[in-house]
Amino acid sequence: MGEFMNKKDQWIMGIETSCDETAVAIIKNGREMAANVVASQIESHKRFGGVVPEIASRHHVEQITIVLEEALNQAGITYSDLSAIAVTEGPGLVGALLIGVNAAKAIAFAHGIPLVGVHHIAGHIYANRLVAEMKFPLLSLVVSGGHTELVYMEEHGHFEVIGETRDDAAGEAYDKVARTLSLPYPGGPHIDRLAHEGEPSINLPRAWLEEGSYDFSFSGLKSAVINTVHNAEQRGEKIVPEDLAASFQQSVIDVLVTKTGRAMDEYKVKQLLLAGGVAANKGLRAALEDKFANNPGIELIIPPLSLCTDNAAMIAAAGSILFEKGIHSGLDLNANPGLDIAIHNDK
């Protein structure tokens, strides 16, 4: 028997093109994943050791219609079933963002459905809502290639950044350290793998910053790793890459977990959500589980790996809440590479 399609079902399509993944997803009733398609360009950027913006834009143009169609097929619906279309409006690479924003505007206009602009980091946080219902107040540790933030939320769609990186993001530090060790881009997963084969025997710094600060800094740690490698080379000594990876990872995790724990205590939250590409890190996941999983009264949520790295399901999930709150964008929506997450607050 065919599935009965309830007229009141909410279907949100999400589009994400802020960096090097062309992604389209469809979420039913805010939390059910009906389709999740991600076309990765990593292979095209690898030989340059990082994302090349012009190449990223060109790939998005080539992929977007194919990925859109595949998402509709996966969900078994057509454009006319959609309640709204959500799209990452920023932050990210402007040329890359524009492809998604223009595709979303065309769909919204052609099918007469609301357009909802979503902040990329709000999306990463809302990936958690595909795992468990959110309970407020909550704290989210956001660790990605471009961001390291502690975000406090008192209610849906309201974001307060209580701490952020003052220099490199955690993922950026991972990628730079990986480059120093001649590992391919993106380096995070390679460092993660090596770290599990080594011992954290090399002394590296931890940037705690001023007492009470929830900000982060990873550039000093990154420089210390680079210096360790260069000094060893000059002395003709060999460093064990596994040990260096383990030591670096331990330093990153120590700071992230300690500051998160302090913020959880101070803000008396009900949930801790992990978000962003670095949330795929096995060491970080294990450390958070070890420290907070048995914390009575505080629920720890860690999304599956596919929802940690860039995807559009998270954009549709965040878009669903904005849509319900009546927060829609006009057809003059533009890509905004420096968008502030507070864009969603108090509207």
Contacting positions for ligand KG4 (CB under 6 A): 19, 144-146, 171, 174-175, 186-189, 192, 276-278, 280-281, 309-310
Return the sign of the alpha-carbon dihedral for residues 167, 141, 342, 154. negative
Residue 149 interacting partner from Zn ion, ligand KG4, none (CB closer than 5 to 8 Å by kind): none
33 or 108: whose CB is closer to ligand KG4? 33
Residue 278 interacting partner from Zn ion, ligand KG4, none (CB closer than 5 to 8 Å by kind): ligand KG4
- The reply to whether 41 sits near Zn ion by the rule CB under 5 A is no
- The reply to whether 310 sits near Zn ion by the rule CB under 5 A is yes
Q: State the Cα–Cα distance between residues 25 and 70, nearest whole angstrom.
A: 9
CB of 27 to Zn ion, least distance (A): 17
Q: State the Cα–Cα distance between residues 46 and 42, nearest whole angstrom.
A: 6
Q: State the Cα–Cα distance between residues 142 and 123, nearest whole angstrom.
A: 11
63 or 311: whose CB is closer to Zn ion? 311
Helices 188-195 and 241-267: crossing angle in degrees, nearest 10, is 100
242 or 310: whose CB is closer to ligand KG4? 310
Annotated binding-site members: 120, 124, 142-146, 175, 188, 192, 281, 310
Q: State the Cα–Cα distance between residues 65 and 18, nearest whole angstrom.
A: 16
83 or 128: whose CB is closer to ligand KG4? 128
The structure tokens 């399509």 sit at 13
Residue 33 interacting partner from Zn ion, ligand KG4, none (CB closer than 5 to 8 Å by kind): none
Chain position whose Cβ is nearest to ligand KG4: 277
CB of 278 to Zn ion, least distance (A): 10
Q: Closest Cα to residue 261, out of 239, 282, 291? A: 291
CB of 278 to ligand KG4, least distance (A): 4
Under 8 Å between Cβ of 92 and 18 = yes
Residue 174 interacting partner from Zn ion, ligand KG4, none (CB closer than 5 to 8 Å by kind): ligand KG4
CB of 17 to ligand KG4, least distance (A): 12
Specify the stretch interacting with Zn ion by CB under 5 A; choose among 130-138, 144-152, 157-165, 317-325.
Answer: 144-152
- The reply to whether 192 sits near Zn ion by the rule CB under 5 A is no
β-strand pairing of 11-16 with 84-90: parallel
Annotated binding-site members for Fe cation: 120, 124, 310
The 10 Å Cβ neighbour count of residue 97 is: 27
75 or 287: whose CB is closer to ligand KG4? 287
Geometric angle at alpha carbon 189, from 185 and 195, rounded to 5°: 120
Q: Name the helix (H) or strand (E) containing 39.
A: strand 32-40
Q: Is 225 exposed, middle or buried (0-12, 13-18, 19+ CB in 10 A)?
A: buried
Residue 175, SS3 per DSSP: helix
- The reply to whether 144 sits near Zn ion by the rule CB under 5 A is yes
CB of 19 to ligand KG4, least distance (A): 6
CB of 142 to ligand KG4, least distance (A): 9
Residue 163 interacting partner from Zn ion, ligand KG4, none (CB closer than 5 to 8 Å by kind): none
Q: Closest Cα to residue 121, out of 76, 83, 166, 169? A: 169
Under 8 Å between Cβ of 301 and 289 = no
166 or 328: whose CB is closer to ligand KG4? 166
DSSP letter (8 states) at residue 343: G
- The reply to whether 175 sits near Zn ion by the rule CB under 5 A is no
Residue 139, SS3 per DSSP: strand
